[in-house]
A and B are shown apart, each in its own frame.
Chain A
Amino acid sequence: MKIPRITDTTLRDGDHAVSHSYTPEMVRTIVRNLDDAGVPIIEVSHGSGLNGSTIQQGFSIHSELELIKVAVETVKQAKIASLFVPGIGTSNELREAAELGISVIRIAVHCTEADVTEQYFRLAKELGLEAVGFLMMSHTQPANVLVQQAKLMESYGADCVYVVDSAGALVQSGVRERVSALKEALSIEVGFHAHNNLGLAIGNSITALEAGADQIDGTLRGLGAGAGNAPTEVLVAVLNKMNLDTGINLSILMDVAEEVVAPLMQVPIVIDRDNLSSGYAGVYNSFLLHVRHAAEKFGVKASEIMEELGKRNAVAGQEDWILDVAVELAEKKGLKV
């Protein structure tokens, strides 16, 4: 089995879990530890990607450009990556992040919409960035559709395409089919990004490796949207046990996860009813806090909102539908809206 490249996205996916409240000091400490531990790629940006500071996604307390700058200045060996979602970000923000010194851009779209990424992959390559494609909500499409979409990204210049389990809804057979189909069809690298709604984040990541994945994502202590991700320190521990030596220092990761990241958690990241219903219904993980807000405002259950969003096939970026669903559920119950 290949030794995977690990990307830690605590400072991107975890941004959702801390309600976009990272400070430059937190970023400096976390980046320094990840860099010392030997993690090769560290992702920093708003959870919804560059320019994600909005009402729909949640406003950032500190400018992400400032946070990216701190991260770039702090690293000695690691490369800094950012996430980019077309429509939330535009070419301007991609250029700004490149000027600040990021090395990798991860371009994310719903897994049927790859053709909107062309202008951004081409720009990323012009700017000299490594460009990774992120097929979000990969559980919604069969392997052959993901292959077509990934091939589009490859044709635009992608260096790698990820199967992204945004809802934490895939089980191991689903991961294996999708990752191996991409490996077979593409000549570039393939990655896997897990969420833990069904308790399978580490298991699915290992299955992805068995199916040939070259890159795997993790977050310290699993600090990511919704049910969180594959914890980076657990991933490294498991890889060590499998005799796959990433060269990453496990004890530094364990210390930073325990002493720095765990205290940042606003709520414990566990598979509670809301997160399980989200994964079971196939709902995007970063909806969680928005769903809880709407549930409280309109007096309905978060898990009911999740179930209805799943039925409507909501995709990433549709936080406004949460309000729509909450209003309708409240009206159905005869509650005053």
Chain B
Amino acid sequence: MTKIKAAILGSGNIGTDLMYKILKNEGNMELALLAGIDPESDGLARAQAKGIRTSHHGIDAILEDPEIKIVFDATSAKAHKLNAVALREKGKLAVDMTPAAIGPFVVPTVNLHEHIEAMNVNLISCGGQATTPLVHAVNRIVPVHYAEVIATAASVSIGPGTRQNVDEFVRTTANAVQQVGGAKLARAIPVFNPAEPPINMTNSVYAVIKEEFDEEAVISSIQSIVAEISSYVPGYKLKGTPFIDYRDTPWGRLPTIVIMNEVVGAGDYFPTYAGNLDIMTASAYKVGDLYAAHFLGSKEVIR
């Protein structure tokens, strides 16, 4: 079967975990290259052990290979700003896992079809991948006036990039809750918890509703999107059943749908508690696979 060649740029934790996900899934992509900048990195060594071509010259090896159509950028926001330009010139799709947010935000269960011709798509943040579909699931039944999402992860799973720029996480995630989730107003708040043993990622969504709505329809919409997400993030699940709580808000005393979620990682490279990292690589894999299917499909049509 023909597959689309993909490359991973960045041989750190995220790039390495994504490599295992591509290797273990029989999808539409073939991993052609893992490119890093540190020849001593654990990621490159593991790729070599798996017989995957590697390079420690960063993006260059990727740009030189015309067969590579999809590139996962697992570097940094700063690096992606340069990488995005180079990849676009070569006609390669960039799946941006950094917070650079150059291309549109994408969430596999929500809006990929809207951006199927895009050349650069962004995966928001871990909190964004986990919570925007939940907001969307409510909003497709009844308009969400205000959504607030709390994303809690184990301290040990939060890297220095996020720690030095909490503003960026807050801004990007809240924007995505509006743009992708559909909430009129939104806030996003990260929490880092240092408990030992490390906690699993947990997320809470509060959706404030101003109109009358069918509670059962909302809950069933949420449950159905959770089932869809868990098809590509197996450890993604609801904690309890979503419920309605009345809260005093700036818009009056209003019903607030409370949705609680937990994400347990697949344990491919990260420990299982790092569901926040797992949902990023699992979502990236899903996005890449859907684009690869699209590329294969349109090629057949052309022929």
Are A and B physically bound partners? Answer: yes
Give the interface of A toward B (CB within 8 A): 53-56, 59, 86-88, 90-91, 110, 112-113, 115-116, 118-119, 297, 312-315, 317-318, 320-321, 323-324, 327-328, 331, 337
**Residue with the greatest number of chain B CB neighbours at <10 A, chosen from A54, A55, A318:** A55
**Are A119 and B152 in contact (CB-based, < 8 A)?**
no
**How long is the Cα–Cα vector from A317 to B170 in the complex, in angstroms?**
14
**Residue with the greatest number of chain A CB neighbours at <10 A, chosen from B169, B193, B199, B241:** B193
**Are B150 and A56 in contact (CB-based, < 8 A)?**
yes
The stretch of B62-70, B224-232, B246-254, B294-302 in contact with A is B246-254
**How long is the Cα–Cα vector from A312 to B154 in the complex, in angstroms?**
12
**How long is the Cα–Cα vector from A168 to B190 in the complex, in angstroms?**
24
A-chain residues with CB within 8 Å of residue B208 when the two chains form the complex: 55
A-chain residues with CB within 8 Å of residue B192 when the two chains form the complex: 110, 113, 116, 315
Q: How many residues of B contact A (CB 8 A)?
A: 39
Of A112, A119, A328, A337, which contacts B155 at CB under 8 A? Answer: A112
**How long is the Cα–Cα vector from A54 to B202 in the complex, in angstroms?**
18
**Are A317 and B245 in contact (CB-based, < 8 A)?**
no
A54-B189, A55-B148, A324-B240 known; 9 other A-B pairs, CB under 8 Å? A55-B146, A55-B247, A55-B256, A112-B155, A112-B194, A317-B150, A320-B202, A320-B260, A331-B240
Of B165, B193, B204, B256, which contacts A313 at CB under 8 A? Answer: B193
**Are B204 and A323 in contact (CB-based, < 8 A)?**
yes
Main secondary structure of the interface of B (DSSP, over half): strand
**Are A87 and B243 in contact (CB-based, < 8 A)?**
no
Give the interface of B toward A (CB within 8 A): 146, 148, 150, 152, 155, 160, 163-167, 169-171, 187, 189-195, 199, 202, 204, 206, 208, 239-241, 243, 245, 247-250, 256, 258, 260
Of B146, B195, B245, B260, which contacts A312 at CB under 8 A? Answer: B195
**How long is the Cα–Cα vector from A90 to B188 in the complex, in angstroms?**
11
A-chain residues with CB within 8 Å of residue B243 when the two chains form the complex: 327, 337
**How long is the Cα–Cα vector from A323 to B194 in the complex, in angstroms?**
20
B-chain residues with CB within 8 Å of residue A328 when the two chains form the complex: 240
9 examples of A-B residue contacts, CB within 8 angstroms: A54-B148, A55-B206, A87-B190, A113-B155, A113-B163, A113-B192, A118-B164, A314-B193, A324-B260
A-chain residues with CB within 8 Å of residue B241 when the two chains form the complex: 337
